[in-house]
């Protein structure tokens, strides 16, 4: 069988692909109570809001959301594992269940993807979602001690390693390191994925997605989009992109920057606009679809999807909006030494 990397790359030459949309909103809309989250696990902490643990306690919910996105047109469905790591699960006293959560979430996504592939013969893919945790390697949480760190690189790498191995065991095709606010955190995730490949005995292609924290186009650790790309390009990711941050309108200039310089597939999945005063997302599916269509018309994207506030209806609207539009062609990037501090640096030829 053709590898997942080869199959996705081949499909991306033919058309613009779709990933899925937001999971948190879809779960919240189901109005689950604490017992739905807790199930019969017997954990000591209140579990309400622990979306990841639903892979163990309400598998029907996880499966239904994944299938809704696949039915809307998604070629890639992500696992519901954004916070399924030892650090984040410590808030719920569920650290011991991290491997089980990731394996089960990946298995559920794999089964749904394969069911849809069997219906029409079009291969669907599973992206193992790895969130940034609530710790940062680059910044101190103590304003009086800028050298202090709550965690070091090796510890965070091991946290990611546990998660990535379990995602692979559950059947994930790719590892999606997403919503990256700290570039060094992403590097720990990359290192963990390389180690995980040796443990599971197969390639785990990387999808890497940065989130911007201000309109100037930097993440929290201060890197511009171009500098971020140079900092992670050595990992040879299958996709590079942007997610969360803002709505599509605010991401427009940053998508162009990435599209012009990256010799990898570009995947962008913005929020459904900006939140209102109540923190809700009001942008209608057709509005979001019209905005991302502009990127498609300009040949700037290979994969589209949605993040916070987006729904299966947003993905379906995107599918209609981009139908027949040609995918982005990877640029022929001249060979140069390209380095990254907070700003990019290209050594003259």
List pLDDT tens digits, range 20-59: 999 999 999 999 999 999 999 999 999 999 999 999 999 9
Query: So what's the pLDDT on residue 15?
Result: 98
Query: So what's the pLDDT on residue 227?
Result: 98
Return d(Cα 175, Cα 173) in angstroms, integer: 7
| Residue 270 pLDDT exceeds 90 | yes
Query: Do residues 160 and 85 make contact, with C-beta atoms less than 8 angstroms apart?
Result: yes
Give the rounded percent of residues in the chain with a pLDDT score beyond 70.
100
Pairing of the two strands 344-346 and 338-340: antiparallel
For the full predicted model, state whether its pTM sits above 0.95: yes
Return d(Cα 168, Cα 197) in angstroms, integer: 9
Name every residue whose Cβ is closer than 8 Å to that of residue 188 and which is 6 or more positions away in sequence: 137, 153, 156, 157, 160
Query: So what's the pLDDT on residue 349?
Result: 65
Query: Do residues 22 and 77 make contact, with C-beta atoms less than 8 angstroms apart?
Result: no
95-131 pLDDT tens trace: 999 999 999 999 999 999 999 999 999 999 999 999 9
Return d(Cα 89, Cα 53) in angstroms, integer: 9
Average pLDDT for 196-202: 97
């Amino acid at each position: 069988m053709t590898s997942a990397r080869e199959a996705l790359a081949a499909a991306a030459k033919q058309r613009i692909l779709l990933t899925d949309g937001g999971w948190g909103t879809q779960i919240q809309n189901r109005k689950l109570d604490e017992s739905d989250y807790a199930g019969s696990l017997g954990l000591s902490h209140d579990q309400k809001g622990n979306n990841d643990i639903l892979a163990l306690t309400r598998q029907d919910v996880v499966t239904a959301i994944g299938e809704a996105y696949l039915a809307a047109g998604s070629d890639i469905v992500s696992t519901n594992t954004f916070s399924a790591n030892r650090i984040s699960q410590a808030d719920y006293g569920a650290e011991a269940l991290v491997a089980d959560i990731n394996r089960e979430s990946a298995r559920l996504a794999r089964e749904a993807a394969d069911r849809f592939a069997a219906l029409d013969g079009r291969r669907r893919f599973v992206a193992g979602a790895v969130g940034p945790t609530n710790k940062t390697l680059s910044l101190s949480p103590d304003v009086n001690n800028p050298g202090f760190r709550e965690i070091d690189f090796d510890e965070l790498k091991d946290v990611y390693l546990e998660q990535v191995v379990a995602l692979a065991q559950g059947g994930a095709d790719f590892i999606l390191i997403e919503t990256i606010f700290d570039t060094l955190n992403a590097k720990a995730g990359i290192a963990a994925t390389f180690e995980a490949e040796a443990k599971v005995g197969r390639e785990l292609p990387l999808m890497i997605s940065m989130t911007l924290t201000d309109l100037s186009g930097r993440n929290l650790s201060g890197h511009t989009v171009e500098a971020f790309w140079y900092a992670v390009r050595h990992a040879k990711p299958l996709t590079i992109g942007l997610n969360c941050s803002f709505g599509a309108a605010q991401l427009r200039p940053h998508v162009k920057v990435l599209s012009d310089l990256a010799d990898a597939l570009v995947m962008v999945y913005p929020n459904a606009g900006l939140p209102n005063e109540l923190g809700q997302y009001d942008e209608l599916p057709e509005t979001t679809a019209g905005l991302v269509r502009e990127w498609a018309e300009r040949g700037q994207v290979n994969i589209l999807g949605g993040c916070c506030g987006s729904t299966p209806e947003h993905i379906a609207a995107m599918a209609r909006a981009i139908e027949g539009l040609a995918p982005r062609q990877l640029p022929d990037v001249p060979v140069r030494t390209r380095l990254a501090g907070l700003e990019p640096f290209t050594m003259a030829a």
